[in-house]
Structures are given as structure tokens and as C-alpha cells.
Amino acid sequence: MLDTMALARPGVAAAYVVRGKENALIDMGYASCAEIVVNDLEENGLAAQDIDYLLPTHVHLDHAGACGALATTFTTAAVRVHPKGERHLINPVRLWETAGELFGDELMKQYGKPLPINGNRVKVIGDDEQINLGGGVTLRSIWTPGHASHHLSYLVEENGTVFTGDSVGINSPDFPILIPTTPPTSFNLEAAVKSLRRIEQLSPKRLLTPHFGIVRNARGSIAENIQSLIIWTDKIREMLREGLSIDSMVNALDEQLATRAMNTTGPHPDYLRTSIRLSVLGIVGYLKSSDHTIFK
């Protein structure tokens, strides 16, 4: 596990190296974190020519933002992404513009602008495909939509490790109370729960999460994630019926999390409020666009 030091803080966004005869980097953080990732790899004995695959679980900036810069550094690495994410790695302009509308100029400066990747370097990988790293290490891609329609998780077939990407929520070392990751524009509750059930059916031994770290009680974590998705969706549906604004919803959930944490962790870090707001926006968008009217 590599800490990408996102937002200049430890414990915000992790990347993972999977070693066989070949080596894969799963997720790689914001563009602003690229140099840190390169340095961390070098400290672990991995030079540029030792990275054979760059595997963003999806193209959101905290997972694939550094992919373009790393592809420039790791000139022999193959880049693999879900078909729906391919165009955003080749030309990240639309991705950058959409993120800017959500996060604002100040945060976008901290994230850094992703570099485009030559289309010849980017190859698609779909559901249930294998990447044989050699040395008895095989990665299998698992399509896990819900957080995003182009989201993949990866299973190490030999030992039951699952690299989850954002198919699971945030469980920060600073604030170990689960926060769902349900951002606009493509969050879908049914797909997210189905994806978690699919991971559960793999009988994973442990989950390696980007936000943040290793979860050894995989079954318990999956159950908690499903419950939190349903609870947050129900709560936001009720607040929509009451006519509350987005800011009011964010405040209500913010206060609820702080109350839950009071006896164990204290107030949550400020940067997590951005995640809460994104999750609210994503669930609101889902409720307003789904077939189930929020006013039933």
C-alpha cells in the first residue's frame, strides 16, 4: 500500500502495488500526487521499468488523476480501464470540467490537472477478464458499477484479496465511521448494492480500499456498506420530501456523523465534508432520476 498524501494529508487516498513476475499499480491518486507515488515506488525498489500495468479502478480524479503523468514516466506500462472510461484517459478535458463544477477552483488546484494519455497506450478491460502477472499472481477484473458506471474492482484469485476502488465507502483513519461514496452523476443504489453482493460472493479474505487501507473483516464491511447506502438514501429521500436544501441535508448528515463519533473519535476532518456533500448530491440525483418517485 502506498499513501499518495492526497490533499497533503496522510490517510486520504491509497494506491496499491501487486507484485508477480510483472507488477501492477492499482489506483494512483490525484495528478498532484504523481511525484509522491514515483518516490514511494522507488523506495520500495521499483523503478519506472518495473511497472508493467497501470490499473485505475475508475477515472475519477482521486484514482486516475495521476495516470497520465505516470504513463509518461512508466513508458512501458500498459494502461487498462473499463470501456466507458477509456475516452476520459485519452482526453480528460470533459472530466476536468465536470469535476471543476463540483469542487471549485481552490480544490481543483490541489487536485492537479490530469495529463492526456496517447490512445495507443490505453486498452480496455471488461468484466471477468484476467491479467496474469506471473509468479502465481492473477488479477481478475470485476465490474462493480453503482459508484460509477465504469468502475472495476480487482480480485487476486490466488489469495482472495479484493481491491475495491470506491465500490465501498470512506473509512478514514482520522474518522473510522463509514461515509458512503455516492457521487453524481451516475450513482445508482441498486447497482451499488448488487456490486457489493457480487464482491461478497467472491468470499474475499480482505478488502484493500482506497479510502483508506486494509479491511480484514470483509463480510462485516460489505454488510455495513450495504446498510449505510440504504440508510442514507432513505434519509435523503425523507429530507427531499420535507423540502430541505442541499446545504441543509449536508449539515444534518454532518451533525449526525459528528454525534456518532463523539464518544470515540471526536470531530471529523474538514475535508470529509466535501465527500459528504458529493454523496448527498449523488443520492439526490439518483432519487430525482430514478423510476421511484421520491414523493410516493
Share of residues in the chain with pLDDT > 70 (%): 95
* Half-sphere exposure (Cβ direction) of 208: Cα atoms closer than 13 Å: 21
Residue 296 CA to residue 294 CA, distance in Å, equals 6
- CATH number 3.40.50.920 is the correct assignment for the domain at 1-125: no
pLDDT tens figures, 107-165: 999 999 999 999 999 999 999 999 999 999 999 999 999 999 999 999 999 999 999 99
Could you tell me if 202 and 259 are in contact, meaning their C-beta atoms sit under 8 angstroms apart? Answer: no
Say what the pLDDT of residue 113 is: 97
Q: Do domains 1-125 and 144-296 have the same CATH topology?
A: yes
Mean pLDDT of the chain: 93
pLDDT tens figures, 180-214: 999 998 899 999 999 999 999 999 999 999 999 99
Fold of domain 144-296 = Metallo-beta-lactamase; Chain A (3.60.15)
Question: Is the predicted pLDDT of residue 10 greater than 70, yes or no?
Answer: yes
pTM, two decimals, is 0.93
Domain boundaries, the chain: 1-125, 144-296
pLDDT tens figures, 215-266: 999 999 999 999 999 999 999 999 999 999 999 999 999 888 877 766 555 5
On the 0-12 / 13-18 / 19+ scale of CB atoms within 10 A, 251 is: middle
Say what the pLDDT of residue 296 is: 46
